[in-house]
């Protein structure tokens, strides 16, 4: 699938790091380094603008290495970019570690996964079909 993109970042376009990768790495597009202290959050631009086809979304997810090594994650994970959005892709990062983290221009800060989705229409009913699980909620499966 081809996706139209405007790249105002000065960095190369996001790339898949391996042949079977699901996510494209997004890079920070910032004028100067941003320091995120413990529990600080910041909206970091990427300089990218995209036009997705109808029926698709871009999901913004944490990079596992940054999350594991530095406690840096995407606060609204996964963030959703709808097909009709034409603004700059920005990433809402949060530092959940006890140490400050410095984000540099060009640093890979998140990954973007393009996913197909459906839209629904509601069919109101007074009851739903029964299942083995039924109304069992959090932690209800796998019990002996």
* Residue 132, domain member (yes or no): no
Is 86 annotated to bind a ligand? Reply is no
CA proximity to 114, closest of 63, 78, 90: 78
* Residue 67, domain member (yes or no): yes
Full residue range of the structural domain in which residue 87 is found: 4-9+22-116
Is 142 annotated to bind a ligand? Reply is no
* Residue 15, domain member (yes or no): no
DSSP state of 105: T
Rounded to the nearest 10°, the torsion over CA 119, 83, 106, 7 is 160
User: What b-and-e string marks burial along 46-56, b requiring 16 or more CB atoms within 10 Å of the CB?
Assistant: bbbebebeeee
Is 82 annotated to bind a ligand? Reply is yes
pLDDT tens-digit profile, the chain (144 residues): 999 999 999 999 999 999 999 999 999 999 999 999 999 999 999 999 999 999 999 999 999 999 999 999 999 999 999 999 999 999 999 999 999 999 999 999 999 999 999 999 999 999 999 998 888 888 777 765
Q: Assign residue 40 the CATH number of its domain.
A: 2.70.40.10
* Residue 44, domain member (yes or no): yes
Is 81 annotated to bind a ligand? Reply is yes
């Amino acid at each position: 699938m081809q996706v139209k993109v405007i790249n105002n970042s000065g960095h190369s376009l996001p790339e898949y790091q391996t042949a079977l990768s699901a996510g494209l790495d997004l890079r920070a597009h910032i004028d100067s380094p941003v320091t995120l202290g413990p529990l600080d959050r910041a909206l970091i631009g990427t300089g990218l603008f995209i036009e997705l086809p109808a029926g698709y979304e871009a999901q913004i997810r944490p990079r596992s290495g940054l999350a594991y090594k530095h406690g840096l994650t995407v606060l609204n994970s996964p963030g959703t970019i709808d097909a009709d959005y034409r603004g700059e892709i920005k990433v809402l990062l949060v530092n959940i570690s006890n140490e400050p983290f410095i984000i540099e221009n060009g640093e890979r800060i998140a990954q973007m996964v393009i996913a197909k989705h459906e839209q629904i229409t509601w069919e109101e009913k007074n009851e739903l079909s029964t299942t083995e699980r039924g109304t069992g909620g959090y932690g209800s499966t796998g019990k002996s």
